[in-house]
Structures are given as structure tokens and as C-alpha cells.
Amino acid sequence: MKRRIAVLTSGGDAPGMNPAIRAAVRTGIARDLEVFGVRHGYTGLIAGDFIHLGAREVGGIIDRGGTMLGTSRCPAFLTDEGQHSAVQQLAGRGITGLIVIGGNGSQHGSLALSERGVAVVGIASTIDNDLAGSEVTLGATTALDVALEAISRLRVTASAHGRVFLVEVMGRACGYLALMAGIAGGAEAIVIPEAEESPEDVAIAIQEAYQRGKSHAIVVVAEGARHNADALARHFTEHAERLNFELRVTKLGHVQRGGSPGAFDRLSATLLGATAVERLCGGAHGILLGLAGGQVTTNALGDAVRTRKPLEPQWLHLAHVLAR
Ligand code: ADP
Ligand code: F6P
């Protein structure tokens, strides 16, 4: 009998998940493995919702965002019972290797399975880019491009009216997308959880921008910041008379997740999907694959999920210097 492996996607979908699935399946076939897909992340793993994946089943997905397997947030998998059932489902089908494509929470799940004896290889995939050991995670660059296009359009209308726009971007507990979108989008101010500024500091930055002759102000705010777009808008509205600027709020939300993966995410996903299979064939157990400097990085799952990933100080510094 051929060796059997399975692949699943979990947590927030990210552009790049589909090309990673495709590469894993086709590399598996080239390595004479039988490859299964688990539908809807850990929910499907617990329920035994598996499908056999051949080369044709993963055709036509390289340019599609989302995930052909479906994904989920699965509270049941946090329990001992849920994890036990997941292990049983794999064992019952003779599946001896699992690839988990997902973000921080999902890789905590990978670690739990690996501690229960399953050979797991994780692939760092989240638009939040908050997994340690990977300079950039699958999906983050495509999501960034979506945010940048929106910011360019907002600047046009902001400038026409002389308005301030608060643009809220995703990032559950981290400011990567906001920081990078703010720098690359030419924002006048950036608000992120890693370097919180008070609403009054932001108001001063806006007023100084107008004093320097700007016809608008774009403030990029991470949803995970203590002073998110709603909190800032509340403060500015309460002090509207004194601050004297006209304000609009745009939350980009899930629009950032649904883009077609860009060149970088397609190529990286292909490399990571193929490498994950090779690593399973080589006997790997409990590792997370990511990317740094164009190369695949390998970290122990435990190290990756327990380490908080810092933002690059050089970008934080540039954000201040360039907002003039
Ligand atoms: P993401 O992977 O995008 O960060 P979540 O944080 O929602 O998304 O995690 C996805 C799923 O991973 C959760 O719904 C849960 O099933 C599983 N998971 C999250 N944290 C843990 C944990 N500490 N232990 C085991 N499984 C976890
Ligand atoms: O995948 C990460 C993420 O997009 C975060 O940026 C965001 O906070 C969260 O997922 C949104 O989750 P949901 O899709 O469950 O609303």
C-alpha cells in the first residue's frame, strides 16, 4: 500500500493556500504517495471529512484566493476529546503525515497533534504575518497589495475634499499590515498595537500635515490597536470643534483576504507545498515551514508558536521619518 498523507487549511483563509495545496498534492503524487484533503480545517479532521485528491482535483486553483478545502475556526479542537478524535480519524485511514496550512492559532493546533504523535509539517500562512521564524507568511503580500489599491483610491477622494480618512486594515493582534500599508501607501500617520500613540498624538500629526500644506490626511489603523478606527473616530468627533478637520472612516475588512494570490504568494506557496511533502518523506515531525530571504525556513513548531514576532525596527523608524 502507498503511504498516505493529508493536507488541511485552517483559521483565516489567505491567498496562497490554494497554490500550496496544489503543489503538495502534485508533489505527493510524484513521490508515489496517496494524498487526501481534509475539508473545513480541524472541524473536518474531527468529523472525518476527507476527500481523495488527484492531480486533476487541484487543477485551476493556482490563481484563486480562499481555499478549495474550506477552513474553519474550531473551538472543539481546543479540547482533549476533539484532538483525540482527530488523531483517531487519521489513524483509521492509515494517514501517517499531515500538512497544516494556517496561521498562529492553527499552528498551535499542529503542535498539539505533533505532541500526540502525528507527523505534522506546518506551512506559515496568514495575512497577519505574525508567525515567528518566517519573515513573511503566505497571503500577507497579496493582502498588502489589496490594501494599497484601496488607500490610493481613498487618497484621491480625501484630497478632493480636504478630508481625513481613517483606514482600518486587518491584523488581529499585530500591526504588520497597517505598518507596511501605511509606509507603502504614503500615510500621514500609522496606528499599530506595537507602538501605540494616543488619539491626541494622532490629531497633532494630522494638524501638522495640514500645516505643511497637505490637502488630505490618511491614517492607517490596525484593527488590533487599542485605539482602533472606531475609538479614534469617537475621540475626534468629541473634539471636532477644536480639531477642525472633516473625517471619514473606511474599514477594509475581509476585502483584504479575498484577492487572487500575487506572483510572490503563488511561487512561495508552490515552494512551501512541495517542500512540506519532501520533509514528510524525509521523516520530519513537528516543524513549521516559512520564508526568509527567498529561502524556506524550518523551525520547531513549539519555538515558532511560542515566540512573539516583533516588527522590524527599521520600518517603524521609516514610518516616522517619511510621514512629512
Ligand atoms: P489562525 O490560524 O488564522 O491564527 P485561529 O487563531 O482562529 O486562526 O486558529 C484556528 C484554529 O486553530 C482554532 O479555531 C482552533 O481550532 C485551533 N487552535 C487555535 N489555538 C489553538 C491551541 N492553543 N491549541 C490547539 N488548537 C488551537
Ligand atoms: O486571518 C487573520 C484575520 O484576517 C485577522 O486579520 C482578523 O482579525 C481575523 O482573521 C478575522 O477573522 P474572521 O474571518 O473570523 O472574521
User: Are residues 71 and 40 in contact, defined by beta-carbon separation less than 8 angstroms?
Assistant: yes
Q: Tell me which amino acid residue 225 is.
A: A
CATH of domain 4-139+261-306: 3.40.50.450
What percent of the chain shows pLDDT beyond 90? 93
Report CA torsion sign: 229, 234, 235, 241: positive
Find cell 500591526 and name the residue: 175
Q: Which ligand is nearest to the CA of 75?
A: 1
- Cα 180 from Cα 171, distance rounded (Å): 12
d(CA 322, CA 188): 8
Atom of ligand 2 nearest to the CA of 257: 4
Return the SS3 of 61.
coil
| CA–CA distance, 175 with 181 (Å, rounded to integer) | 10
For the chain, how far is it from start to end, CA to CA, in angstroms?
65
- Residue whose CA is at the smallest distance from ligand 1 atom 15: 74
Whether 225 and 196 have beta carbons less than 8 Å apart is answered as yes
Where do you find CATH 3.40.50.450 in the chain? 4-139+261-306
Q: 212-238 pLDDT, tens per residue?
A: 999 999 999 999 999 999 999 999 999
Question: Catalytic site residues?
Answer: 128
- Ligand with the closest atom to the CA of 222: 2
| For ligand 2, atom 4: residue with the closest CA | 12
Which among 104, 168, 170 is the best mutation to test ligand 2's pocket, defined by most ligand atoms within 8 Å of the CB? Answer: 170
What atom in ligand 1 is closest to the CA of residue 42?
16
Tell me the average pLDDT across 275-280: 98
pLDDT of residue 53: 98
Confidence of residue 143 (pLDDT cuts 50, 70, 90): very high
How high is the pLDDT of residue 14? Answer: 98
34 within 8 A of 97, measured Cβ to Cβ? no
The answer, as to whether pTM is greater than 0.85, is yes
- Write down the CATH number for the domain with range 141-257: 3.40.50.460
CA of 73 to the centre of ligand 2 (A): 10
Ligand 2 neighbours (beta carbon < 6 A) = 11-12, 73, 103, 126-128, 170-172, 223, 257
pLDDT at 244: 86
CATH 3.40.50.460 intervals, the chain: 141-257
Return the ligand number nearest the Cα of 302.
Answer: 1
